[in-house]
Amino acid sequence: TDLEVTHWWTSGGEAAAVKELAKAFDATGNKWVDGAIAGSGGTARPIMISRITGGDPMGATQFNHGRQAQELVEAGLMRDLTDLATKEKWKEVIKPASLLDSCTIDGKIYCAPVNIHSWQWLWLSNEAFKKAGVDVPKNWNDFVAAAPALKKAGIQPLALGGQPWQASGLFDTLALSLGGKDLYMKVYKDKDADAAGGADMAKVFKAAADARDMAKGSNVQDWNQATNLVITGKAGGQIMGDWAQGEFQLAGQTAGKDYSCLPGLGLSDYITTGGDAFYFPLLKDKEKAKAQEVLASTIVSPKAQVAFNLKKGSLPIRGDVDLASANDCMKKGLAIVAKGNALISTDQLLSADTQKQKEDLFSQFFANPSMTADAAQKRFAEIISSAD
């Protein structure tokens, strides 16, 4: 049966990963009809939502974990996967459990998680630092200290794309890695406006201002263009989620040799685990409904998990798969998850509305050097105080 699957995985690494899923699904005798929409989730989600609410749903669609699809579920537009999940014992195999929790609404499971993404990575170009004549940094502070040398060598210290979510993600990463777990949870989970406006957070904002100076001059838009600057040694480093890994891999680079990765920016042992999940709109067609189940089960299956996540550079959602072929970086990530140091991602903690406001704030902050850290923090506190 043909099943149309919409997603926004269009960069090189992503597309390669999707191909693995499609292959696995096609192998079950069904057909994966690819509905890629380019231009990141911001472009794609409205289209997906319109189609679901407009009564022309696709067979399955990607969303980020968390609250993006909550209302669709509440409106009864999505398919309940609880039966399948019980049958395949998802509750037991999927690690960390928070992943499945965010698929669960009123005790029912509505999505199949595909991968775990963590945001807190600093990717570094070994070549760039060699050229600048400094050692490859071991953490964020080293990186900041090396920036002048990079600049002198004509190298952009920090690569940052223009898309608002990148700026926002960078800041959240700084908040967790520099501010620590407690601050992160207070601000993002408890929505504590005092903490958001407090002195600890002010330090994070100070660091963000430094990052802003380092990022000045990287005139690229897409995240993977920014990654490309690192790959080609035009930039020293980039703060980006683990999906950047896929790009390095596609470029044929080896972790440790050509590039380095620092989870938690080398300062903290925590990462957040968000990620992507597939949701299945309620369909009238029986055949398709059956195919949906097959797809859900394929996605969670160990084989597909390995194939997919290796290509994508993200972590698999189950603890029981063998990732022997994973590279250094992935292994670092897996180790942290195994330690139980995985926190819930901002996507799950904050509503899309709050996220958007945050994006607006930080994209403005990073683009506009005249905005002071204080002003930004004040606004940030406001957003957190009204967050839901």
CB atoms within 10 A of CB 368: 10
Kindly report the backbone phi and psi dihedral angles of residue 154, in degrees, each rounded to the nearest multiple of 5, phi listed first.
75, 20
Identify which of residues 55 and 340 has a Cβ nearer to other proteins in the complex: 55
**Shortest distance (Å) from residue 248 CB to other proteins:** 11
Identify which of residues 143 and 366 has a Cβ nearer to other proteins in the complex: 366
**Shortest distance (Å) from residue 222 CB to other proteins:** 5
**3 state SS for 170-181:** HHHHHHHHHHHH
Nearest to 224 by CA among 207, 243, 210: 243
Contact 356, 67 (CB under 8 A): no
CA 207 vs. chain centroid, Å, equals 21
Contact 331, 339 (CB under 8 A): no
Contact 378, 205 (CB under 8 A): no
257 contacts: CB under 8 Å, gap ≥ 6? 126
**Shortest distance (Å) from residue 21 CB to other proteins:** 9
Please give the Cα distance from 137 to 65 (Å, whole number).
Answer: 32
**Shortest distance (Å) from residue 310 CB to other proteins:** 17
Please give the Cα distance from 170 to 77 (Å, whole number).
Answer: 34
Identify which of residues 12 and 198 has a Cβ nearer to other proteins in the complex: 12
Footprint of other proteins (CB under 8 A): 4, 6-7, 9-12, 15, 18-19, 22, 32-40, 42-43, 45-47, 49-51, 53-56, 58, 68, 70-72, 75, 162-164, 219, 221-222, 224-225, 228, 247, 250-251, 351-353, 355-357, 360-361, 363-368, 379, 386
Q: Any bridge partners for residue 315, and if so which? A: 116
Identify which of residues 177 and 355 has a Cβ nearer to other proteins in the complex: 355
Please give the Cα distance from 345 to 136 (Å, whole number).
Answer: 28
**Shortest distance (Å) from residue 83 CB to other proteins:** 26
Identify which of residues 218 and 260 has a Cβ nearer to other proteins in the complex: 218
**Shortest distance (Å) from residue 342 CB to other proteins:** 26
Identify which of residues 5 and 337 has a Cβ nearer to other proteins in the complex: 5
**Shortest distance (Å) from residue 15 CB to other proteins:** 6
**Shortest distance (Å) from residue 46 CB to other proteins:** 3
Identify which of residues 277 and 343 has a Cβ nearer to other proteins in the complex: 277
Identify which of residues 314 and 355 has a Cβ nearer to other proteins in the complex: 355
CA distances from 110 to 81, 82, 92, 187 (A): 5, 7, 16, 28
